[in-house]
Amino acid sequence: MEQRVPVVVREAVVADAEGIARVHVDTWRSAYAGLVPTGFLASLSYEEKAKKRAEALEKPWSGSKTFVADAGATGGIVAFAAGGHERSGHHVYKGELFAIYVSEKHQNQGIGFQLVIEVVKHLRTLGLNSMLTWALADNPYARFYEKLGGERVGEKWEETGGKVMQEIAFGWRDLSVF
């Protein structure tokens, strides 16, 4: 296991876009190897993700925020999470954890939990007291949500890279548990 690196969890700024893109692409390639088609994973582009993330940080969706775990000069951005209003109009879960990714060598250090807490705090400032997130059913890291008290509350099938895969929704009806 890697030595723990001290991080600062903070709201993301546009200058973080490249670091966020690196974490996003690298974690997809490591976590989803064997689940998502290899060609799709190989086609992921740091530059394209950085451009999209910079645009999203410059003009965020209404109520959405992105947070990063920054290891400073020793490692830069090592994780990120984003959340805001639930996007599908769910009748129970009003907030959503859109994404959370922690670089492989920084996992199991509590960074993911810190990021979820920041998203939850943000959702509560929006007056939202429930949250939903989606994960690939075969994602080996989906247990993270269960460890945080998330309950399996739905499923859907989505196409990624030409392959249709099952996704599971994890929900928290009351964010005061955090």
d(CA 171, CA 148): 10
Closest C-alpha to 31, from 101, 106, 111, 114: 101
pLDDT grade, residue 1 (50/70/90)?
Answer: very low
- What's residue 140's pLDDT? 85
What confidence tens digit (pLDDT) does each residue in 23-34 have? Answer: 999 999 999 999
- The letter for the amino acid at 27 is T
Mean pLDDT, rounded, for 58-68: 94
Residue 3 covered by a domain? no
Sign of the Cα pseudo-torsion (32, 10, 144, 89, in order):
negative
- Which domain CATH number covers 57? 3.40.630.30
Residue 51 covered by a domain? yes
Residue 132 covered by a domain? yes
Mean pLDDT, rounded, for 93-117: 96
Number of folded domains in the chain?
1
Residue 1 covered by a domain? no
Residue 2 covered by a domain? no
| Domain coverage including residue 31 | 8-177
d(CA 41, CA 36): 7
What confidence tens digit (pLDDT) does each residue in 64-99 have? Answer: 999 999 999 888 999 999 999 999 988 899 999 999
What confidence tens digit (pLDDT) does each residue in 116-154 have? Answer: 999 999 999 999 999 999 999 999 889 999 999 999 999
Kindly give the residue spans of alpha helices, DSSP state H, lying in the chain.
Answer: 17-31, 38-43, 46-58, 111-125, 143-147
Taking all residues of the chain, what is their mean pLDDT, rounded to a whole number? 95
Q: What is the DSSP letter of 105?
A: G
d(CA 45, CA 146): 31
